Structure 1
Amino acid sequence: MSAILEINGVTAGYGAAPVLQDVSISVPTGTICAVLGANGAGKTTLLRTLSGLLKPTAGQVVFDGQDLREVKVEHLIRLGLAHVPEGRGVVTELTVDENLRLGGLWRKDRADARRALDEVYQLFEPLQRRRSSAGHQLSGGERQMLALGRALVARPKVLLLDEPSLGLAPRVTAQIMALLRQLRDDTGLTVLLVEQNVRSALSVADEGVVMSLGRVVVSTSAEQLRGDDELRHAYLGF
């Protein structure tokens, strides 16, 4: 299976101190790749680097055959790379419908943008019921759905998803994970999933990457991670 996202020897950080050190990850097309590790492992920094919010000091990121060092941040979504950051990033003053439409403002195919909006409402029935509600009126689970939905309106090829279960009830977390599996199976969406809830992440992931202190220490199938007690105890705490 070919890789849609290749991270080759990337070093990046804040100021003079690197957080990521020589990180290499290959994400196959149409898979869910879970990036796991303790707080401070560099997981969020990895996503910020991939989405252009941080510039690597060494290494290369290739997305769908294109070197992202040559691409402006605002053009990444046009190429098909969408980032849902930790904290959900909903514009609380806007309604659900207005937030979702933001995800497709740049699209020239207005008819397909409308279809994408309708599809998001079908995926997330709570948003359909609350489409006129302001972002600040939503529950935590609804805000996560809204952030995901806004990214999906852009029809990305790869979704970078940072801690989607943070602060959510287990039932809502299970719904979000089931949706990611559905999107992978039905649309071929590729997901790079950063998640503290290791069990939930591995329940839907195809591939697993474990990071520690800014380095990749394990890269293998999710099935092997689930079955390797010694590795899980050493790096994942269960």
Structure 2
Amino acid sequence: MTEPLLRVEGLHAGYGAVPVLRDVGLSVAARTITAVLGANGAGKTTLLRTLSGLLAPTAGRIVFDGADLRGVRVERLVHRGLAHVPEGRGVVAELTVDENLRLGGLWRRDRADARRALDEVYHLFEPLARRRQHAGHQLSGGERQMLALGRALVARPRLLLLDEPSLGLAPRVTAQIMALLQRLRDDTGLTVLLVEQNVRSALSVADQGVVMSLGRVAAATTATRLRDDEHLRHAYLGF
């Protein structure tokens, strides 16, 4: 059996004395999209923050591409191929689109490939190409989400942790972003761990689904089963 790109075992994490994640276990196969679903407060964002090194786990293992990530600094995780686009998009408002994107590749030694990656992002996101000298605060919500995603892609990640990309966006823009994730998976082999409140939208592009409840994994199965299983939908997803 092929080893998953990401394997999480017995993960516990929280903020100070407040536990959030409790014995979380999941696996993510390479070249797939896994949707992490659940109500507000279920621990979804905390899971991504812990996986990306922003929050230290109190117990458990995080294994990425066969290597244990415990104690690895955030910048080293990026070098290993893990990128995190947090909720709220994280665009530097004072910098231009081009400057924001270049931040994603500053650490890369292969400058020629960094330039190619930048050109590829402009090809993927034509609105950004037209506004490359505009400051971040001049962009629409959809354009800011494109910019945050594009900056992560400039680093050429193998695993993208994406937190609530549809938040505050029009349905048309959300559909475009979801279609792009499918295209990146199919064309480049990108693996995506997607936290999303828009359950239907997430399951329409995902291969697997993980449902979280009160800091634990309540269900982990195929996206098709989550869409079709009425009991699971009613119990955990509210539709």
Shorter-chain TM-score tier: over 0.9
**Equivalent-residue separation in structure 1 for 2:17 and 2:138 (angstroms):** 41
- Structure 2 alignment gaps of length 5 or more: none
Residue 152 of structure 2 is matched in structure 1 by 151
**Equivalent-residue separation in structure 2 for 1:126 and 1:233 (angstroms):** 39
* 71-80 vs 171-180, which moves further: 71-80
Is residue 50 of structure 1 aligned with residue 73 of structure 2?
no
**Equivalent-residue separation in structure 1 for 2:62 and 2:118 (angstroms):** 30
Q: CA deviation at 1:174?
A: 0.1
Q: What SS does structure 1 have at the residue aligned with 2:5? A: strand
Is residue 214 of structure 1 aligned with residue 215 of structure 2?
yes
Q: CA deviation at 1:7?
A: 0.6
Letter in 2 for 1:83: H
Letter in 1 for 2:106: L
Q: CA deviation at 1:17?
A: 1.7
Q: CA deviation at 1:178?
A: 0.1
Letter in 1 for 2:39: A
Residue 42 of structure 2 is matched in structure 1 by 41
Residue 202 of structure 1 is matched in structure 2 by 203
**Equivalent-residue separation in structure 1 for 2:4 and 2:54 (angstroms):** 22
Could you list the per-position Cα deviations for residues 52-84 of structure 1 after superposition, in whole angstroms to 9, with x for gaps in the alignment? 111111100011111111411121100000000
Q: Within 5 Å, which residues of 2 pair with 1:23-172? A: 23-172=24-173
Q: CA deviation at 1:2?
A: 3.0
Letter in 2 for 1:46: L
**Equivalent-residue separation in structure 2 for 1:161 and 1:73 (angstroms):** 16
* 37-46 vs 224-233, which moves further: 224-233
* 67-76 vs 128-137, which moves further: 67-76
Could you list the per-position Cα deviations for residues 178-232 of structure 1 after superposition, in whole angstroms to 9, with x for gaps in the alignment? 0000000000000000000000000000000000000001000001101001110
Equivalent pairs: percent with the same residue? 80
**Equivalent-residue separation in structure 2 for 1:7 and 1:88 (angstroms):** 25
Aligned length: 238
Letter in 2 for 1:112: D
**Equivalent-residue separation in structure 2 for 1:32 and 1:142 (angstroms):** 22
Give every structure 1 segment of 4 or more consecutive aligned residues whose post-TM-superposition deviation is greater than 3 Å.
none
Letter in 2 for 1:130: R
C-alpha RMSD over aligned residues? 0.6
Q: What SS does structure 2 have at the residue aligned with 1:69? A: coil
Could you list the per-position Cα deviations for residues 4-51 of structure 1 after superposition, in whole angstroms to 9, with x for gaps in the alignment? 001101000001121000000100000000000000000000000001
Q: CA deviation at 1:119?
A: 0.2
Q: What SS does structure 1 have at the residue aligned with 2:25? A: strand
- Structure 1 alignment gaps of length 5 or more: none
Letter in 1 for 2:167: L
Q: What SS does structure 1 have at the residue aligned with 2:70? A: helix
**Equivalent-residue separation in structure 2 for 1:185 and 1:170 (angstroms):** 23
Letter in 2 for 1:96: V
**Equivalent-residue separation in structure 1 for 2:218 and 2:204 (angstroms):** 20
Could you list the per-position Cα deviations for residues 108-147 of structure 1 after superposition, in whole angstroms to 9, with x for gaps in the alignment? 0000000000000000000000000000000000000000
Letter in 2 for 1:124: F
